[in-house]
Structure 1
Amino acid sequence: MRVGFFVTCLIDLMRPEIGFSAIKLIERAGFEVVVPPAQTCCGQPAYNSGERGIARDLAEKMLREFEQFDYVVVPSGSCGGMIRAHYGDLFRDDPELMGRFGRLRAKVFELTDFLVNVAKIELSPGEFTGPVTYHDSCSGLRELGVKSQPRALLAQAGVDVTEMNGCEQCCGFGGTFAIKFGDISTAIVDEKCENIHASGMPAVVLGDLGCMLNIEGRLRRTGDTTTRVLHIAQVLAGDV
């Protein structure tokens, strides 16, 4: 079966190696992966800024490029949440688009959710065995129900997870929130970093690059040069 891989802007521009790791996992599960070359943004920054026209144009573009596939996999709870939870709002006044979106929505999965519930992948312990702590990204957790899936995959891969306090609390990124409300965002990520340190773990794993960049950036700016901040795709694929 053919999987359309939605790369996401941040991965494409800042950490493309995460995308390659995710593709490796999907192919390992027996699926053909196609990366539509003209894909761009899911529209979330525009949507969150009130630019509904731009967001809708991007949503229609995504729909055209991905509705042909058996599944659509997104290595980000944030972008996956935008597509599944908010495109319906953008298309609500157009029955034809709503019908097409309804068919697409059923095929869109966050990476770990796809690997567990669709691909039913079986992993063997790899080179990376932990220990780590895990950060639950807001959109993946609250909009897509991603909670047990990454932990199940890490356990398969032999990675020992020690939960931190406040693992479900926001890291303070929130896309444009971190730009509009910098002081509040900093206070939130400082608490997240304190919880990571208190866990005693040498690495934190997560499934959303926005959170990853925010947490890693704050750790480094406050003098922590050793705590590793890892995307779950790289950990599972053995690319760290």
Structure 2
Amino acid sequence: MENHNFVTAYDFKLHTCFPLLRSVSDVRPPALTSISEPLPFFDGTTRLYICYLCPYAQRAWITRNCKGLQDKIVLVPIDLRNRPSWYKEKVYPLNKVPSLEHNGKVLGESLDLIRYTDANFEGPSLFPSDPAKREFGEQMISHVDTFTSGIYSSYKGDPVEQTSAAFDYLENALGKFDDGPFFLGQFSLVDIAYVSFLERIQLVFSEIFKHDITTGRPKLVTWIQEANKIDGYKQTKVDKEEYLKAFKIKFLA
């Protein structure tokens, strides 16, 4: 009963404080390829270049959605397996995603982009003002690359055994604040930094390694459940079969 009351109260707060998290709508345009015509670059349009399979790009996409910026930031998906040459030549010399074309310049790196989007566009703030939460949030964002690299490196060994401590770290972190189910209580950039990777990791462990990463981790269970109620994230979720096919080619070949 206590858990039910907590979630109900949290749901009310989420609707009240972050209405755009649940009211966004989006359409997935087809990915551009090597035969796609160049866009009218630097014409004043703000564009977010992504790849539907890429968890780094998904971070920026989620942030755009949860800020309610679908009409402000145009989504431009790129097929990284058959990318247009003009993307590297005219847009982003590093030739990867995500990148953001804004105010006559192009910015990259997913963690930088989610911060930039939150700070430079309208919409609900995705990082709290509370000093304790900001400090812990920065700590968690700094840890995310360590977390993901550790998980990925386990795929050639014993993933279940090798990753137990990494998932326990997240379970403990989710207990830091008690005013909501997310890392900082309310949904924030910290959750965005992790959610696209955990989406894929959970899928791989379930389908490939036949293991449930949430077993014995009730806070992680709740975190995943609550994240999946947020339209701004749900609309970005990777295609299961397409991702598993790509994973097998990359890691299990």
Same-fold call, TM > 0.5? no
TM-score, normalisation: structure 1: 0.42
